Structure formats: structure tokens, C-alpha cells
A = this chain, B = another copy of it.
Amino acid sequence: MSAPDTKTCILNAAEKLFAQNGFHNTSLRGITSLAKVNLAAVNYHFGSKDALLQAVIERRLLPLNRLRQEKLAAVLTQATTSGAPPATKQLLRAFIEPTLAFRHSGPGAEDFIAMIGRALSEPDQTVRNCFLQLVMPLFQQLFKGMQQALPQLPSQVLLTRLQFTLGAMSQVMCNSARPALQLPGLGEPLTDDQLADELIGFVCAGLEAQQ
């Protein structure tokens, strides 16, 4: 059903395997056999394995970044029109909620988010650069907004705290597909909405902590 398009089949299979096994631990043969296409199709349609990775990331990250950018811009313009600085929590919401909600935007999206969550600490330059290049403008926008929301914080401190924020966030992104940390007998795990609220509350408190 659904996708007779060879290119899309390859993208879907690559996304799943890159997310599950990492870029270097995924072979083109694994991808093409999962996608049920010929091995040479990857190089024909994308040129190389690196270019395939770029395509996999761009396909989902460009729309997601556009959405996050819009939500951030909405918070910022609404703040300037009202004359008040933007609220930390609103900025965080604009950045985090679309990201976590994206996991349920369709099949494979959860894998993709796990992959992106890992990208920041990725040792391989191929993956990290491809990700950083796409996400840096958005991060700078978030940083500028936070400078307005928390003007008393020195810029370096703010940057550091935003790194903590990304770290907490990426932990959620990676571990929603397959939780690494589990303890027995703690009852029901949190729902996705609860998880998002917890994350936002956590990093908001951390960002606003007095020095």
C-alpha cells in the first residue's frame, strides 16, 4: 500500500534504521532491503550515503523548524506589541511543544525525533554538522528571545542554561521510543502531555533560577 515511490521508500527505511542503529552502523544494503528496492537506487536517487542522510534530516526538520520558528515569532511579536518582555515559559512552549508533538505526526516520526535528539552529542561530523546547520538559526532566535525574557542573566550564563535545556530535551526525544532508564514498580509512566508539561516546568525553573 501507500508508497510506490522509490525515493520515499528509501527515505522511510533510512530514517528508521538511522534512528535505531545510528548512521555509521546502518548499511545501504540494510536500507534497500527494508525498502524493497535495489541497492543502486540510493546512489542513483541521492548520490551518496551522506546525501541520503541530509535528505532524511531535511525532509522532516525543515517543516518542524518552520513551525517552531513561527511559534517563536508569534510569542516575540505579541510581546513587543504588548510592551512587556516575553515570558520564559511561553518561549519554551513555542520551542518544545511542537518538537514533542512531532513524534506523533505520523509513522516514523518518533524514530526521527530520537535521531535528532541524539544529533547534538553525535561524535560524527557528518551527522552533527548537517543537523547544526539547520537548527542554528532557530536556536539563535530562541536565544535572543530569552535574552529579553531574562535580561538580568549574563549572556554566557544564559547560553549555558540553554545548553542544559537542550540536554534535558534531547533526553526526552531519545528515550520516548525506547526508555533507557526504568525502575520497576513505579506505576504508570507519564502521558505525553504530562511529560511535555514536566519538561517545560523543569527547564523553566532552571532557567529562571536566581544566581
Chain A interface residues toward B at CB < 8 A: 19-22, 24-25, 117-118, 120-121, 123-124, 128, 132, 139-140, 143, 154-157, 159-172, 174-175, 180-181, 183, 186-190, 195, 198-199, 201-209, 211
Most chain B beta-carbon contacts within 10 A, residue among A21, A24, A121, A188: A121
Say yes or no: A20-B123 contact (C-beta < 8 A), given A164-B171, A205-B205.
yes
Whole-angstrom distance from the CB of A9 to the nearest CB of chain B?
Answer: 22
CA distance A203 to B207 in the complex (A): 9
Residue in B139, B169, B171 whose CB lies within 8 Å of A166: B171
Q: How many copies make up the complex?
A: 2
With A163-B181, A181-B163 known as contacts, the answer to whether A155 contacts B186 (CB < 8 A) is yes
Which B-chain residue is minimally distant from A26 (CB atoms)? Answer: B123
A160 to B169 Cα, complex, angstroms: 11
Assembly CA distance A2 to B202 (angstroms)? 46
A48 to chain B, nearest CB (A): 17
Contact in complex: B24, A180 (CB < 8 Å): no
Are B167 and A170 touching (Cβ within 8 A)? yes
**Could you tell me if A25 and B159 are in contact, using CB atoms closer than 8 angstroms?**
no
